[in-house]
Structure 1
Amino acid sequence: MWKLMIADDEPRIRNGLCKTLPWADMGIEVVAEAENGKEALEIAASACPDLMFVDINMPFMNGLELIEKLHDQNPNCLVIVISGHDEFSYAQQAVRLNAFDYLLKPVQKMELSSAVNKALEVLMKDRVEQKHTQWMNNKLEFNAETMREEFFSKWITGKLTKEQFEEEWLFFQPQFHGKISMLLLKPLGKVTANAPNKIWDPSLLEFAIKNILSEMLPQLPISTVFSAEKGRIAALTQISDLTSIRAVYQEFERVVMTYLGVSMLLTHSVVEQLEQIPRHYEEMNQELMRESALTPIVMMTKKYLETYYYKEDLSLSEVAEQMNVNATYLSKLLKRDLGKSFVDCLTDIRIKKAIQYLNDPTSKMYEIAKKVGYQSQHYFSHTFKKMTGVSPLEYRKRGDY
Structure 2
Amino acid sequence: MQNILVVDDEAIQRRVLAKMIREARPNCQVLEAKNGQEALEIIHRDDIDIVFTDIKMPILDGLELIEKMNASSHDIKVIILSGYRYFEYAQKAIQLGAFDYLVKPVKEESIAQTLEKVESSIRKEQTNLLENEEIKQQLNRTLSVYYERLLTDWVTGGIAESKCTEIRQQFSLENRGIVIAAKLNDESLLMEPLYSVDRMKSVMLSGMEDRSSSIGPSVSFFSGEDKGLLITVLTMDRPYAEESETLTKLLKEFAAQTFEQFGITLTIGIGEERSHLFQEARHSCKEALTAASFRYFLPAQDVIRFSDISGLIRPMHYDYLKEEELFKESIRKTKSEQIVKHVDEWFERILKNGFPYPDQWNKAVIRMVSSTASVIKDFVTDQDYTDILVKAETQLSASSDYVSCKSRFQETLMLFMDILLKSRSKKHESVIETCVHYLEMHYMEDLSLDRVANHLFFSPNYLSLIFKNHLGMTFSKYLTDMRIKKGIELLQNSTLKVYEIAPRVGFKDEKYFYRVFKSRFGVTPDEYRRNIHLNKKEVY
Q: What is the SS of the residue equivalent to 1:99?
A: coil
Structure 2 counterparts to residues 289-308 of structure 1, below 5 A: 289=290, 292-293=293-294, 296=297, 299-300=298-299
Q: How does 1:4-153 map to 2 (within 5 A)?
A: 4-21=4-21, 23=23, 25=25, 29-84=28-83, 86-153=85-152
Alignment of 1:248-327 (within 5 A): 248-257=247-256, 260=259, 262=265, 264-273=267-276, 275-276=278-279, 279-286=280-287, 288-289=289-290, 292-293=293-294, 296=297, 299-300=298-299
CA apart distance, 1:51: 1.2
- Equivalence map 1:199-278=2 (5 Å): 201=188, 203=190, 207=201, 209-219=204-214, 222-228=217-223, 229-230=225-226, 232-240=229-237, 247-257=246-256, 260=259, 262=265, 264-273=267-276, 275-276=278-279
Aligned residue number for residue 187 of structure 1: 183
Counterpart in the other structure of 1:345: none
- Compute the displacement of 1:129 (Å): 0.8
Secondary structure in structure 1 of the residue aligned to 2:85: coil
Structure 1 or 2: larger strand share?
1
Work out the CA distance in 1 between the residues paired with 2:108 and 2:161: 72
Query: Which residue number in structure 1 is paired with residue 170 of structure 2?
Result: 174
1:300-330 Cα deviation digits (max 9, x unpaired):
4676998xx9xxxxxxxxxxxxxxxxxxx99
| Alpha-carbon contact 1:223-1:236 (below 8 Å) kept | yes
CA RMSD across the alignment: 4.0
What displacement does 1:215 show? Answer: 4.0
Percent of aligned pairs with the same amino acid: 23
SS in 2 for 1:73: coil
1:245 positional shift: 8.2
Larger radius of gyration: 2
For residue 354 of structure 2, the aligned residue among 337, 356, 359 is 337
Structure 1, unpaired ranges of 5+: 190-198, 310-328, 340-401
Q: How many residues are aligned here?
A: 302
Q: 1:185 to 1:84 in 2, by over 3 A?
A: same
One-letter code aligned to 1:57: K
Change (3 A) 1:6 1:166: same
1:225 alignment partner, SS class: strand
Q: Which protein has greater RCO, CA pairs closer than 8 Å, 6+ apart?
A: 1
8 Å Cα contact 1:181/1:238 also seen in 2: yes
Name the CA distance, whole Å, in 1 between partners of 2:75 and 2:184: 52
What TM-score does the superposition give when structure 1 sets the normalisation length? 0.62
Name the residue aligned to 2:368: none
Distance 1:133 1:34 in 2: 35
After TM superposition, the score normalised by the length of structure 2 is 0.47
Distance across 2 between alignment mates of 1:305 and 1:135: 40
The whole-number CA distance in structure 2 between the counterparts of 1:70 and 1:126 is: 18
* 3-state SS of paired residue (1:337): coil
- Quick one: distance in 2 between partners of 1:135 and 1:50? 24
Q: Tell me the SS of whatever aligns to 1:86.
A: helix
Go from structure 1 to structure 2 and tell me whether the alpha carbon gap of 1:103 and 1:188 turns closer, same or farther (over 3 Å shift). Answer: closer
Distance 2:123 2:111 in 1: 18
Question: What is the Cα deviation at residue 73 of structure 1?
Answer: 1.5
Q: Shift of the alpha carbon at 1:123?
A: 1.6
CA contact (8 A) 2:291 2:304 kept: no
Q: Distance in 2 between matches of 1:97 and 1:174?
A: 44
Matched-pair contact (CA < 8 Å) for 1:182–1:270: yes
- Flag the 1:131–1:38 CA change in 2: closer, same or farther, 3 A: same
